[in-house]
Every structure is written in structure tokens, then in C-alpha cells.
Amino acid sequence: MDDTTKTLLTLFVSPVLGVIAALITTAYKLRKERAIDRDKEKEHIRLKILNPLLIASEDLLERITDIKRRRKLPVKGEEMQRWFADVKARRGRDPAAFAFWANDEGYFAMSTLYITAVYFYYAGTIRRDFPFFELAHGGETTLLSHLSQLRTSIGGKFGIWEAMQDSLGAYLARDGGLKNYREFCEMIIGEPPALWFNRLIDFYRDIHLKLDDQLGNVEQSLRELIGFLRRNLQVSALEYRLSGESIRQLREHHVPAPVISGLESLSMPEYLDEVRFVHELVGCIGQDLTDDYKPSILRCADRRLVV
């Protein structure tokens, strides 16, 4: 090959190689930018949807377990039934009186309705906007399958019908997030928006008529969803148990002797999540004393974080 040929080849090949290198560099940058965009989207979903979904699920589990326990107690069950019945009975009357009631005696009922609607809001957002969102762990199960299982557990003939769950959650949506407790109460008071919450109210008003199996399925589905979310989001759970040191600290906090005696009789060698821990407390010292001294007991109990 003579010098002229070499020169011509150099003049031809060099620009081609430059173009190829530029294309490769551009493709790499585009792939990197797309990966960054995907990571940003995943982080947005995690912060704005999945973390709140986890909190909403835990709040709903705590309340369903509380309701399931209260309805078995004659006095507490009747009291709770009256609270939920009063939601409709007081609706359409004096808004100021309803607001006062919703922040006092009626808070348990109204907050239960709100907690449930908040869960529906986040679960519906996933089903509607991110149905194919992938999480790292779960094997053959997916986030959508856990949501569908819980959707079925809450639904059914005597539940909150599946299609209605999405609507109940959507009613809480507003620009920049979801409505707060006050705004929710104002919807329950107002007509005609309040009419669309009737099924939700009736579900809890008639909770004493529900089968243990139905509420048990709701509890189990919530626990499985919470466990799935915690594993994938790598969020630690706080567990509790009572020890001799816990009892000593409670005495120093001047917790009454009857409460101390009841807690001393409670054998709790294993750590339990907060819902199960509180359930054991209620079985030992009763609902009222648990409500009164739960913050002190949780503060003095032995605690550990588990993933």
C-alpha cells in the first residue's frame, strides 16, 4: 500500500471512527440519563406513594385490630356501635356541633373512616398510576397482588365493594396531596358529597355483625402487605417486650399499683410488634387502662429494631 492510499484511508476512516465514537458516547449518555430518570421516578414513588402506603396500612391494621377487640366487649362494643351510628344521625344538622363532636366523642369513629379512606387513596394510586411498578423482593408475589388480596378481603357482599374502594380514596385527592382530617369531616357533613361515603360508614356501623373470618382476613392481608413493603423499602420495625427493668421504670413513672400488678402477671418473653404487644396489654389490664398508660408502657418496654 503506497503513501497516497494510506493518506486517503486515513482521511476517510478517521471521520468515520469519530462519528462512531460520538454515537457510542451519545448512546451511553442517553442510557445513563434514562437510568437516572428511572431512579428519580422510583425515588419519587417511594417517598410519595410507597412510604405513605406503608404508614396508612399500619394505621389501618392497628385500628382494625382495635375494633375487632372492642366489638367483643359488651360495653365497649355498644359504645363503638353508637359512635358509628351517630355519624349519620348527626349529619345534616349543626356543622359546628358536628365539628365539636368529631374532635371529641366522635373522634374514634371519624378517624377510623378517615384512616380507611387514606389507605384507599394510596392503594388506588398504585393500582391506577403504577400497576407495573417493580420491587426488589417478593418472589412470585408483587405489590399489586398484595393490594388485590387486601381489596378482596375488605370487599365482598358484606364489605366495602371493590370498585367503591378506589372512589372512596379518590375523594380525598386534592392538588398537592390528599385532604386532611378537617377537610374529610367537612365532606362527611356536606350534602351531597356525604352520600358517597354511606357504604364506608355502614361497614363500620355494622361491624358487630361481621364474621370473625372476614376481619381476620383483613388483618392477615394487611400484615402480609406491611411485611412485603418493609422488606422492599428496607424499613425497620420496632418490637416490644416487658422485662423486670420495664416494670421498675414504670414504677418510677408512678404508674398505679393495679396496672403494675397486671403487667407483672403478663408473661412476654418474646418481642412483639406494636399491634400484637398492645393486644396483649388489653388482654391483661383492659382497654381503658391500656388507652391511659400505653405511652408510658411503650416508652419503658424493651425495644428492638428488625428488618
Are 217 and 250 contained in the same domain?
no
Residues 207 and 148 in one domain: yes
In one-letter notation, the amino acid at residue 243 is S
**Percent over 90 (pLDDT), the chain:** 53
pLDDT tens per residue, range 97-115:
999 999 999 999 999 999 9
| 158 in the same domain as 131 | yes
pLDDT of residue 4: 65
- Tell me what pLDDT residue 183 has: 93
Structural contact between residues 169 and 117, judged by C-beta atoms closer than 8 angstroms: yes
Same domain, residue pair 88 and 159: yes
Higher-pLDDT residue of 74, 268:
74
Range of the domain at 130: 40-233
How many independent structural domains does the chain possess?
Answer: 2
According to the model, what pLDDT value does residue 67 have?
94
- pLDDT at residue 163, rounded to an integer: 87
Residue 302 cell numbers, joined? 424493651
Average pLDDT, the chain: 85
* Helix, strand and coil in the chain, % to nearest 5: 75, 5, 20
- What is the Cα–Cα distance from 179 to 58, expressed in whole angstroms? 19
10-19, 141-150, 173-182, 283-292 — which is least confidently predicted?
A: 10-19
Write out pLDDT tens, residues 38-67.
Answer: 555 566 667 678 899 999 999 999 999 999
Domain identity same for 69 and 218: yes
Asked if residue 31 belongs to a domain, the reply is no
Burial of residue 70 (number of CB atoms within 10 Å: 0-12, 13-18, 19+): buried
pLDDT at 11: 59
